[in-house]
Amino acid sequence: QPPGRRCRLTATSPRAVVLIPNWNGAHLLPDCLDALQRQTWTDFQAWVLDNGSTDGSLDLVRERYPEVVACDLGFNGFFAGAVNEGIRRTDSELVILLNNDTEVRRPEWLSQLVGYGRMPGVGAVGARLLYADGRVQHAGMVTEKQPDHHGPDDEDPAQEAA
């Protein structure tokens, strides 16, 4: 692995945490985690949130990916329960949710996602997802807060023109 492209562990929380729910996904995790190691933006930590796997998923993560936090949840909370537990356990500034069957294709994916997520007024960002055959599964999104609304006592240029 090229230096500086692996997840950096520090005494303080990284700016972002990538939460990966997992249940018996040992056959899926290498593609997912290897792609994260190739990211150009490295101020993140990957967490595998294991939902009680019996296929050696946690052993695989601990042996092959020591920089990844392997969380044995001790229960199967499915996707929602796992990510909610991960969110409760982290104090990172940004939380990225990633399925264990996802392989990130571009090394700048995380930097782009974080860049949009840090824009003023943005509350959530979604990436474009493709099926294995290249068809679009999800086109991505950026959610911004609604523009300010004026009350009857506020100055409103539209009201003045009437």
Mind listing the pLDDT tens digit for each residue in 74-133? Answer: 999 999 999 999 999 998 889 999 999 988 989 999 998 888 888 888 888 888 888 888
pTM: 0.78
3-state secondary structure (DSSP) of residue 9: coil
| Structure confidence at residue 63 (pLDDT) | 97
Cβ contact 113:96 at 8 Å: yes
The encoded tokens of residue 106 equal 């571009």
Cβ contact 104:113 at 8 Å: no
| CA 78 to chain centroid | 16
| Average pLDDT of span 146-158 | 44
Mind listing the pLDDT tens digit for each residue in 45-78? Answer: 999 999 999 999 999 999 999 999 999 999 999 9
Beta bridge partners of 72: 50
| Phi, psi for residue 115 in degrees, rounded to 5 | -60, -45
**Residue whose tokens read 């009857």:** 152
**In whole angstroms, what is the distance from residue 23 CA to residue 50 CA?**
6
| Phi, psi for residue 143 in degrees, rounded to 5 | -105, 125
